[in-house]
């Protein structure tokens, strides 16, 4: 399946960048109708996974989801072990139609992913993808910066010209919370009503979008800005991108940016 190969390639790139060590990070990807047609047994449910939240808005959709405890470095060697394709069969159950060959199950962050998909689909019907990864410099920033969405947004926008072009809506930020639970999933999904990217303090980044390339590029751009920040934050700054410069960029590229930060 070509789409599995494409997912595996992105997961391997995330690992190679150092953003998904050990079993860190996860991905969920909505299949198109054409991709679903390519499945040999799309309606044959191998096993089911039950969750205690309402997935009604996703019923009938198929997802590729990374397995819990799986290592991204092993994806290319054994995709059918480390990945699964599941169908939302009713409001509380996912049905496995392919993968998790060793008896595995979807990532523990699956409820957070699905909550984010629900919110992003309300904003963009072309939305398809959620990736969570442990971007090093973003994590560093959460140790030394105020955990405020507008603060992070302004800092990241001003690190490089491309930032406001790639994520004009900014980034959302959450304080440290226990991962894998309901609370962090609910709070992340709330921020996804406004942002495509949410930072988890001392943990990493959640990014969403319409394609593998788009989301990987979003992660790269945010993390590059954070890397620049960490390299210069203790230096004497002689010149930088001003608010007027940022407005000039958005005017040139006809971009609608988040109000209230540089205005």
The verdict on 147 and 248 lying in the same domain is: yes
Residues 24-34 have pLDDT tens digits of 999 999 999 99
Q: Is residue 215 part of a domain?
A: yes
Q: Is residue 183 part of a domain?
A: yes
Total of domains in the chain: 2
The verdict on 90 and 156 lying in the same domain is: no
Q: Is residue 125 part of a domain?
A: no
Residue range of the domain that includes 70: 1-108
Active centre residues (catalytic)? 109
Q: Is residue 114 part of a domain?
A: no
Say whether 147 sits in a helix, a strand or coil. coil
The verdict on 155 and 32 lying in the same domain is: no
The verdict on 22 and 64 lying in the same domain is: yes
Q: What is the 3-state secondary structure (H, E, C) of 233-245?
A: CCCCCCCCCCHHH
Residues 168-217 have pLDDT tens digits of 999 999 999 998 888 999 999 999 999 999 999 999 999 999 999 999 99
Look over the chain and give the mean of its residue pLDDT values, rounded to a whole number: 96
The verdict on 216 and 179 lying in the same domain is: yes
Q: Is residue 46 part of a domain?
A: yes
- Write out the chain's pLDDT in tens, 263 residues: 899 999 999 999 999 999 999 999 999 999 999 999 999 888 899 999 999 999 999 999 999 999 999 999 999 999 999 999 999 999 999 999 999 999 999 999 999 999 999 999 999 999 999 999 999 999 999 999 999 999 999 999 999 999 999 999 999 999 999 988 889 999 999 999 999 999 999 999 999 999 999 999 999 999 999 999 999 999 999 999 999 999 999 999 999 999 999 98
Question: Which of 108, 138, 173 is the C-terminal boundary of a domain?
Answer: 108
The verdict on 71 and 142 lying in the same domain is: no
CA angle 17, 142, 162 (to 5 degrees): 60
The verdict on 104 and 211 lying in the same domain is: no
Q: Is residue 116 part of a domain?
A: no
The verdict on 81 and 174 lying in the same domain is: no
The verdict on 134 and 251 lying in the same domain is: yes
The verdict on 103 and 134 lying in the same domain is: no
The verdict on 181 and 100 lying in the same domain is: no
Tokens of 248: 């000039």
The CATH code of the domain that includes 144 is 3.40.225.10
Task: Give the list of residues 6+ apart from residue 251 with CB closer than 8 angstroms, or none.
Answer: none
Question: Which of 75, 108, 141 is the C-terminal boundary of a domain?
Answer: 108
Q: Is residue 26 part of a domain?
A: yes
C-beta of residue 35 within 8 angstroms of C-beta of residue 106 = no
CA angle 246, 252, 257 (to 5 degrees): 50
Q: Is residue 119 part of a domain?
A: no
Question: Model's pTM, two decimal places?
Answer: 0.95
């Amino acid at each position: 399946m070509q789409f599995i190969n494409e997912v595996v390639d992105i997961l391997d790139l995330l690992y190679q960048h150092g953003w998904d060590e050990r079993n860190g990070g996860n991905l969920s990807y909505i299949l198109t109708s054409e991709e679903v047609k390519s499945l040999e047994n799309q309606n044959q449910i191998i096993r089911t996974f039950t969750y205690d939240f309402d997935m009604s808005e996703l019923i009938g959709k198929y997802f590729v989801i990374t397995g819990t405890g799986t290592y991204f470095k092993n994806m290319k060697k054994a995709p059918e072990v480390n990945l699964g394709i599941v169908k939302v069969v009713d409001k509380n159950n996912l049905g496995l139609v392919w993968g998790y060959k060793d008896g595995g199950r979807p990532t523990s962050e699956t409820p957070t992913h699905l909550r984010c998909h629900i919110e992003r689909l309300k904003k963009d019907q072309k939305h398809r993808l959620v990736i969570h990864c442990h971007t090093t410099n973003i994590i560093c920033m959460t140790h030394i910066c105020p955990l405020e969405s507008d603060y992070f947004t302004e800092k990241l926008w001003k690190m490089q010209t491309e930032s406001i072009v790639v994520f004009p809506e900014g980034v959302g930020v959450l304080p440290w919370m226990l991962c894998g639970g309901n609370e962090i999933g609910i709070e992340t999904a709330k921020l996804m009503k406004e942002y495509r990217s949410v930072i988890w303090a001392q943990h990493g980044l959640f990014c969403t979008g319409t394609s593998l390339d788009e989301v990987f590029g979003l992660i790269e751009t945010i993390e590059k800005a954070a890397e620049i920040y960490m390299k210069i934050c203790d230096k004497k700054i002689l010149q930088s991108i001003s608010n007027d410069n940022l407005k000039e960029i958005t005017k040139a590229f006809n971009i609608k940016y988040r109000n209230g930060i540089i205005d």
